[in-house]
C-alpha cells in the first residue's frame, strides 16, 4: 500500500495496463491492472536490461499481468526477481514468477526485518499492521546488502536500503535512474503504518537518497519523477508540516481517533483508517523524541498529550 490519502485513482494520463513501455534507457514499465485509492493507476512492474534482465516488483498475481510480463520478457534470460518491499501489490507474483523462470527472489530482508527499536517493541506487544497487505511470511532467497551492486549486460544497479514505508524497503539506483518502490512517489506521500512503517526511518532514508539522487526516479505507482531532489524535499516538508499540525491540534487526553477526525475532516471516511495509521506513526515518533506523552503507554489506544516543557 502506498499513498498518504488520495481520494481516488486519477486515470487521465495513465498508461494502459499490460503494455510494456520504455521509461528509461533499457527499462520497461508494465502497469498492473489493480487501480485503487491506495495504488493510484496500479502497480508499476519494471524490467531492466535488453539482453539479460532483472524483474523488479512483479506486482499482484493476476493472470493478465503475468502474461503481460511474459510478453515483455520475450524469452530473454532473467537473472532474478527483485522486490523493493513485500506488500502484496508489489510482491504477490514474485514467488510464482521466480519458480516459472527458475531464478531467485532478492529483497532487503524478510517481511518484518529492518524495523526500528520502537516498532519492534510495538510488534512484540501485539501491534499488527492495518491491513496494508503485507506478505507476512515472506523471506527472500537472498537478502540484498546496502551498497550491493546488481549487474547485467549494459546495466548496473546499486542497492540503497530505505526503511520507512517498510523496514526492509530498498531502492535500486544508477546515475541515470532509480527504482524507488513506495519510498518516493510523485502522486502522494507514502503510507507509514506501524509497526512496519516508521517516520524517523523514512526521513533518514529521504536524506540518504537525496545525497546521491539519480536523474530520474521510477516509482512503484504513478509517473516518473523528473526532479527527484525537489520531490524528496517536498515529501520531507509534508511530514514536518503534518507534525506541526498534529502538535498544534493535540490536547490533553486526545486519541488517535479524535486527532484523525480533526486533521482529516475533509477526507472521505472510508480513508480514515489509513489516516489513523499515519497519525499514530507521527505520534510514535513524537513520543520517542519526548514531545508528547502517552497514557498508559505508547499504543494506538493511548491517550496523548503535549509533553510539559520547562
Let me know whether 252 and 231 are in one domain.
Answer: no
Let me know whether 293 and 211 are in one domain.
Answer: no
Let me know whether 291 and 267 are in one domain.
Answer: yes
Decide if pLDDT at 305 tops 70: yes
300 vs 1, residue with greater confidence: 300
Q: How far apart are CA 214 and CA 228, in angstroms?
A: 7
Looking at the 3D structure of the chain, how many domains does it have?
2
User: Parallel, antiparallel, or unpaired: how do β-strands 53-56 and 44-48 relate?
Assistant: antiparallel
Tell me how far apart the 2 most distant CA atoms of the chain are, in Å: 67
Residues 88, 92, 93, 95: is their CA dihedral positive or negative?
Answer: positive
Q: How far apart are CA 288 and CA 232, in angstroms?
A: 24
Decide if pLDDT at 137 tops 80: yes
Q: Is the peptide bond prior to 195 cis by the omega test (within 30 degrees of 0)?
A: yes
Q: How far apart are CA 282 and CA 303, in angstroms?
A: 14
Q: How far apart are CA 164 and CA 184, in angstroms?
A: 11
Q: How far apart are CA 115 and CA 157, in angstroms?
A: 24
Among 1, 301, 306, which Cα is nearest to 131's?
Answer: 1
Let me know whether 279 and 211 are in one domain.
Answer: no
Decide if pLDDT at 271 tops 50: yes
Let me know whether 142 and 252 are in one domain.
Answer: no
Residue 136 resides in a domain:
yes
Residue 12 resides in a domain:
no
Exposure of 232 by Cβ count < 10 A (0-12 exposed, 13-18 middle, 19+ buried)?
buried
Query: Band of the pLDDT at 132, cuts 50, 70, 90?
Result: low
Decide if pLDDT at 190 tops 50: yes
Let me know whether 123 and 253 are in one domain.
Answer: no
Count of alpha carbons within 13 Å of 304, Cβ hemisphere only?
30
Q: Give the model's pLDDT for residue 8.
A: 45
E strands, the chain, are: 21-24, 27-31, 44-48, 53-56, 78-82, 105-107, 142-143, 149-152, 155-161, 170-173, 178-181, 217-219, 292-295, 303-306
Decide if pLDDT at 101 tops 90: yes
Decide if pLDDT at 131 tops 90: no
Query: Any idea what the CATH number is for the domain that residue 301 is in?
Result: 1.10.10.10
CB atoms within 10 A of CB 142: 12
Q: Give the model's pLDDT for residue 32.
A: 98
Q: Give the model's pLDDT for residue 130.
A: 66
Q: Give the model's pLDDT for residue 9.
A: 47
Let me know whether 137 and 259 are in one domain.
Answer: no
Let me know whether 130 and 50 are in one domain.
Answer: yes
Please state, for a pLDDT cut of 70, what percent of the chain lies above it. 95
5 vs 56, residue with greater confidence: 56
Let me know whether 157 and 180 are in one domain.
Answer: yes
| Helical residues (DSSP H) of the chain, grouped into ranges | 63-73, 88-91, 94-101, 117-124, 199-211, 228-249, 256-263, 272-288
Query: Band of the pLDDT at 13, cuts 50, 70, 90?
Result: confident
Query: Any idea what the CATH number is for the domain that residue 178 is in?
Result: 3.60.15.10
Domain span at 259: 242-306
Let me know whether 77 and 151 are in one domain.
Answer: yes
CA torsion, points 196, 181, 225, 229, in degrees to nearest 10? Answer: 50
Residue 16 resides in a domain:
no
pLDDT tens for each residue of 30-89:
999 999 988 999 999 999 999 999 999 999 999 999 999 999 999 999 999 999 999 999
Question: CA–CA distance from 78 to each of 64, 97, 101, 153, 233 (Å)?
Answer: 20, 11, 7, 11, 35
Query: Band of the pLDDT at 4, cuts 50, 70, 90?
Result: very low
Amino acid at each position: 500500500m502506498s499513498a498518504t490519502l488520495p481520494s481516488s485513482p486519477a486515470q487521465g494520463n495513465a498508461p494502459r495496463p499490460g503494455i510494456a513501455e520504455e521509461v528509461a534507457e533499457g527499462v520497461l514499465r508494465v502497469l498492473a491492472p489493480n487501480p485503487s485509492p491506495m495504488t493510484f493507476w496500479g502497480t508499476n512492474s519494471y524490467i531492466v536490461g535488453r539482453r539479460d534482465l532483472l524483474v523488479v516488483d512483479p506486482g499482484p498475481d493476476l493472470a493478465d499481468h503475468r502474461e503481460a510480463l511474459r510478453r515483455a520478457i520475450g524469452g530473454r534470460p532473467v537473472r532474478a526477481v527483485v522486490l523493493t518491499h513485500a506488500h502484496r501489490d508489489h510482491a504477490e507474483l514474485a514467488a510464482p514468477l521466480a519458480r516459472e523462470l527458475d531464478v531467485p527472489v532478492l529483497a532487503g530482508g524478510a517481511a518484518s526485518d529492518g524495523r526500528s527499536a520502537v516498532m519492534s517493541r510495538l510488534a512484540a506487544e501485539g501491534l499488527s499492521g492495518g491491513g496494508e497487505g503485507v506478505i507476512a511470511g515472506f523471506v527472500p532467497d537472498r537478502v540484498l546488502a546496502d551498497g550491493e551492486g546488481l549487474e547485467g549486460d549494459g546495466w548496473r544497479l546499486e542497492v540503497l536500503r530505505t526503511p520507512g514505508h517498510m523496514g526492509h524497503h530498498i531502492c535500486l539506483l544508477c546515475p541515470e535512474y532509480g527504482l524507488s518502490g513506495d519510498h518516493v512517489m510523485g502522486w502522494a506521500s507514502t503510507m507509514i503504518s506501524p509497526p512496519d512503517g516508521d517516520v524517523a526511518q523514512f526521513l533518514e532514508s529521504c536524506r540518504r537518497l537525496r545525497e546521491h539522487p539519480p536523474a530520474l526516479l521510477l516509482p512503484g505507482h504513478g509517473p516518473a519523477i523528473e526532479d527527484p531532489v525537489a520531490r524528496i524535499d517536498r515529501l520531507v516538508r509534508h511530514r514536518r508540516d503534518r507534525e506541526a499540525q498534529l502538535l498544534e491540534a493535540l490536547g490533553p487526553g486526545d486519541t488517535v481517533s479524535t486527532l484523525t477526525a480533526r486533521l482529516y475532516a475533509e477526507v472521505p471516511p472510508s480513508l480514515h483508517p489509513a489516516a489513523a495509521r499515519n497519525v499514530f506513526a507521527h505520534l510514535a515518533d513524537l513520543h520517542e523524541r519526548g514531545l508528547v506523552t502517552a497514557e498508559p503507554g505508547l499504543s494506538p489506544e493511548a491517550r496523548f498529550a503535549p509533553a510539559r516543557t520547562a
